[in-house]
Structure formats: structure tokens, C-alpha cells
Amino acid sequence: MRNRRVLVWLLCAALLAGCQGQTGETEAARPLEPISQDALSQDLRDALEEEWDAWNALSEEAKAVSSHMPGWCRRGFEDWAACEDFLGFSVPNPLEACDWLEKGTSAAMPLGFRDAPRVDIQWNGTEEGYVDWVSANAGYRSGPIRVMLGALLYGDPAKAKFSDRDWTLDLGKQDIPADGVLYCVHVVGEPDGTAEVEETLERALGVFEEASE
């Protein structure tokens, strides 16, 4: 419902050994390593080429009134493994194996909601085939709490920056770029569920910490 306020915690966590010290203090963040263009699958490259072919086939008038960003692509998948197959390389996602999380759509709604995909990939690239960025997204649920994972990779030069989300309330943000991936976990609940949101956030962070050990 549009008038209902939501409570949002934003956590960006990196799956990297040594990123989080025993004291819980984060070490100085290192710049993101850019995507290896050669590692990207041919399927992803072909989809980008098809996207540009479709854009170039439009008339100048159609381009002028279009709200579509040229070179922007999106694909949905039934699980994280299928997403990795399409990318052409592995992007570790420790939340996928959590037995305390129920799998949802990429927006963390119940499976089947508006036929939304379980996992989706979004990416943007140039007409020459250079991929600027790739974002792999998956959603989970813990009772009424929604948990959304985004794994973002950048081209060269790498820029570890997520666009601000249009949430009602943003209570926290921590960016920890590591290697070639920036992991962001969004935990969303109701205003009277602060304790549950905090607990879910801590459990999600713990999963990443355990995976990095």
C-alpha cells in the first residue's frame, strides 16, 4: 500500500576473507577490480548485440520518445546457478543455501508474484560490445521480512557506487568493495518490526562472515 511506511536497512557486505576483522571493524576498502570482459559469456554478449540492433532499428522519432535506455538489458532465471551459467562465471551467493530463508522473487515477493523471476540479471553495455556493469539480484523472505541481495560488477574504470534507492527510510549504509563484486543486502520490514529487521540483518551479515572464513 502506497501510504504505508516501510523500514529499510541497507547493508553492503563483501564475500572476502579478512575483510571483516575479529573486532568487527572493517579494514580500509580496496577499489573494485573491473569485470574481465573476456570472462563474460557469449550468450550475454549476443543479448547485448541484439539489444543494440533493436535500438538502431527504431526511427529517430521513436528513439526521441522512448523511455528505454539503449544498451540496457535484463534476463530472468529460475535460480542462482542458471544466472551464473548465463554470466559465464561464478558469483558466490551464501544466502542461496540458508535454510532459514525462503526463496522469493528477485524483489523478495512470494514466488509467482506477478510472474516475476526468482533471480534476474541486469546489465548495460556499449554498441561496440563493452559491458559497463552487471547486476545479479535475488530475493528471500523470513516471515514478513524481505531480504534482497544485489551483486554488482563494474567495467573499467570500476566505480563502487549504488544508486540511491527510493525507500521511505534508509537507516544505514556500508559499502565494502572487494575483488570484482560489491554485495548489497537490503532488509525490509514494517515500522513495528524493528527488532526483527535488526536480527535478520545481523543473521545475513553473519552468513557472509562465515563464508569468508
- If the chain, 213 residues long, is cut into consecutive pieces of 10 residues, what is the mean pLDDT of each piece? 40 34 42 84 97 96 94 96 95 93 95 94 95 95 92 73 37 48 87 85 87 76
Residue in 183, 149, 163 with CA at minimum distance from that of residue 32: 183
Please state, in angstroms and rounded to a whole number, the distance separating the CA atoms of residues 84 and 116.
Answer: 18
Where residue 148 falls (left for φ over 0; alpha for ψ -120 to 50; beta otherwise) is beta
What was the pLDDT predicted at 122?
96
pLDDT of residue 160: 41
| Amino acid letter for position 53 | D
> What pLDDT sits at residue 134?
95
Provide the grid cell at 213: 572464513
| 84, 86, 88, 92 alpha-carbon torsion, rounded to 10° | -10
pLDDT at 205: 85
Query: DSSP string spanning the chain?
Result: -TT---EEEEEE----TTSB-TTSPBPPPPPPPPP-GGGS-HHHHHHHHHHHHHHHTS-HHHHHH--PPTTEEEEEESSHHHHHHHHTS----GGGG-TTSEE--TTSPPTTGGG--SEEEEEEE-TTS-EEEEEEEEEEEETTEEEEEEEEEE-SSP---PPPP--S-B-------BTTBEEEEEEEE-GGGHHHHHHHHHHHHHHHHHHH-
pLDDT at position 179: 64
Whole-number pLDDT of residue 12: 41
